[in-house]
Structure 1
Amino acid sequence: MTKHTGHTANDAGQWSGMVPVDDTALAVTDTGGAGTPVLYLNGQFATQGYWRRTVAELGTGWRHITYDERARGRKSGRSADYSFEAAVRDVDAVLEARGVEKALVVGWSYGAVVAAHWANRNPGRALAAVLVDGAFPYDWMDEAMEERVRTLFRRVAWLSPLLRPTGLLPRMNAEEMAVSNIELGRLSLESELSPVLDALTVPTRYVVASGTSFGSRGDEQERIRTSLAEVTARNPHIEVSAKVPSNHGAILKKDAAAVARAVREADTARRAGVDGQAPAD
């Protein structure tokens, strides 16, 4: 069992502390309680604080577990490994550390792809999945885009000393951030991501934003989202819960209620066994 370090807890069962994994440690918060465990997976360079509105919308009837990925936030440590596979391993490390065998996973952006992969690899442990404006199989990464990504992160590098102490930028250099983003693009290729989504057997709900995201141009983001129609047509376990007016970056702030509804829908579906499964607790 993974050990906890530097933790705090209260009488209601809420816990916060550091969970060691590989060569680093992750800052984790667990509300505790007997409700369905919900594990929240952040955007690529975001923090667990982005989920506070969704947590508030769902309320105390759920067990909310959030954490900051490697080198993200103010406390999670740096690592020699910022790969996607490390991100998927970290899901298991956090759940193990908190003594949670099964969880409903909710991921935004990069976290949506992590959630899809984890649910696909762990059908007996994933109760359901909610994918928030991410995990769209689309061929948007090519050589020209790779160079554009590297240029973008080189340009924002000067902000790092100012923003890293606030937790708004990860403690990663420009090349590490670019490599992570390029890897996400490759994992999102239709040939790579579609088989993962097609194989999902747990209730899965999408919440889809509108408009642009950081670094996108014109209608790029909307064109990427069109791939979802084929995904839902092929896999009856996957549905779109909502298409909301806010853009990619604002969706967790402005449409937390829609995300919370999708969590409730997915949990209701898995309890009812509507996807051909036995109802699970």
Structure 2
Amino acid sequence: MDNTNSPDATLSAWSGMVPLEDTALAVHDTGGTGRPVVYLNGSYANHKHWRKVIADLGSAWRHLTFDERARGDSQRSADYSFEACLRDIDAVLEARNVDRPLLVGWSYGAVLAVHWAARNPDRAAGVVSVDGAYPWGLTGEANREYIRRTFHQMRLALPLARPLGMAARMSAAQHAEINIELNEIVAGIEPVYGKVTCPVRFIVASGGNTGGSAESMEAMRATLGPVLAAHPNVQVSAKVASNHEKVLRNDSGAVADAVREISAILDQEVH
């Protein structure tokens, strides 16, 4: 039973579907009275990637995970845009009565976290960006066609990747359009940081991955420098050895430490 609207809603663990628009999102809320932490997944990932981070933090926190549209156990939709994903965050927060979340985002989820915090400066408690939200992206028609061609070549492998949380229940073309939109958004994300007032901590991965060579990934990460110089509330919590794909699995402790770091800042502000 969902007793979200009862006085002790934050004390009760709950898993279920949150309906909105033409879809429904699979949501998991551990409950408890601790500071709420909302986890935002990679582009085609699901909530299961956060298991080790949640285990590292433990039960003193209220952990909320959910699957985006057509990912994991959530339903399909006619709208997979970035704006739709931002609305999904609002829907989950409203359904679970969460007011000031600490957002932890990996890759695509990090970009969502930064944009949501910029739009909700009075509500965002903090952001942990796990190897994402760097001001760098592949833009222009040539790169758009390259992305579409790449996903078309991957079309037979995508259904096989879904059980591993590495693909969505979408066509190859839909996967590509999400990636194209993301690249255009991150290419213009630097000014967004000027609207983020909460503490932001980065976990920076190392090396390359399936989507990019070590050289291209390190060039992307280097673009964070001007953001750090311009915004004192944005800092690097850790540079870890894992690459982009393995960071949550192999360096979950560093992510958990960044959450604790922000929480300590928030506690100091209260006192």
Q: TM-score range by the shorter chain?
A: over 0.9
Distance 2:208 2:76 in 1: 30
Match of residue 40 from structure 1: 39
Match of residue 224 from structure 1: 220
1:268 aligns with 2:264: yes
Displacement of 1:140 in angstroms is 3.1
Helix, strand or coil: the match of 1:157?
Answer: coil
Helix, strand or coil: the match of 1:249?
Answer: coil
Q: Decide which of 175, 198, 205 is 1:202's aligned counterpart.
A: 198
Displacement of 1:244 in angstroms is 0.3
Match of residue 172 from structure 1: 170
- Worse-superposed segment, 152-161 or 112-121: 152-161
Helix, strand or coil: the match of 1:106?
Answer: strand
1:145 aligns with 2:112: no
Q: Is the 8 A contact 2:42 2:107 kept in 1?
A: yes
Match of residue 276 from structure 1: none
Match of residue 234 from structure 1: 230
Match of residue 91 from structure 1: 89
Displacement of 1:217 in angstroms is 3.0
Match of residue 124 from structure 2: 126
Helix, strand or coil: the match of 2:170?
Answer: coil
Displacement of 1:86 in angstroms is 0.5
Q: Number of residue pairs matched? A: 264
Distance 1:121 1:195 in 2: 13
Match of residue 76 from structure 1: 74
Residue type of the alignment partner of 2:83: E
Match of residue 115 from structure 2: 117
Match of residue 251 from structure 2: 255
Residue type of the alignment partner of 1:100: V
Distance 2:183 2:64 in 1: 27
Displacement of 1:267 in angstroms is 1.2
Q: Is the 8 A contact 2:139 2:183 kept in 1?
A: yes
Go from structure 1 to structure 2 and tell me whether the alpha carbon gap of 1:119 and 1:260 turns closer, same or farther (over 3 Å shift): same
Residue type of the alignment partner of 1:251: V
* CA deviation vs aligned residue, 1:213-253 (integer Å, no higher than 9, x gap): 32213510100100111101100111100000100000000
Structure 1 unaligned segments of length 5 or more: list them: 5-11, 273-278
Distance 1:114 1:31 in 2: 22
Q: Is the 8 A contact 2:159 2:167 kept in 1?
A: no
Distance 1:263 1:118 in 2: 17
Distance 2:12 2:130 in 1: 28
Residue type of the alignment partner of 1:153: F
Residue type of the alignment partner of 1:138: W
Displacement of 1:152 in angstroms is 1.4
* CA deviation vs aligned residue, 1:82-108 (integer Å, no higher than 9, x gap): 000000111010010001111100000
Displacement of 1:195 in angstroms is 0.8
- Worse-superposed segment, 19-28 or 212-221: 212-221
Match of residue 133 from structure 2: 135
Identity, in percent, stands at 51
Structure 2 unaligned segments of length 5 or more: list them: 4-10
Distance 2:194 2:153 in 1: 37
Give the TM-score, by structure 1 length.
0.90
Distance 1:247 1:168 in 2: 15
Distance 2:153 2:166 in 1: 16
Go from structure 1 to structure 2 and tell me whether the alpha carbon gap of 1:230 and 1:31 turns closer, same or farther (over 3 Å shift): same
Give the TM-score, by structure 2 length.
0.93
Match of residue 8 from structure 1: none
Displacement of 1:207 in angstroms is 0.4
Go from structure 1 to structure 2 and tell me whether the alpha carbon gap of 1:217 and 1:163 turns closer, same or farther (over 3 Å shift): closer
Q: Is the 8 A contact 1:40 1:65 kept in 2?
A: yes
Displacement of 1:148 in angstroms is 1.8
Go from structure 1 to structure 2 and tell me whether the alpha carbon gap of 1:90 and 1:185 turns closer, same or farther (over 3 Å shift): same
Distance 1:141 1:248 in 2: 21
Helix, strand or coil: the match of 1:188?
Answer: helix
Where in structure 2 are the equivalents of 1:178-197 lying within 5 Å?
178-189=176-187, 192-197=188-193
Q: Is the 8 A contact 1:202 1:270 kept in 2?
A: no
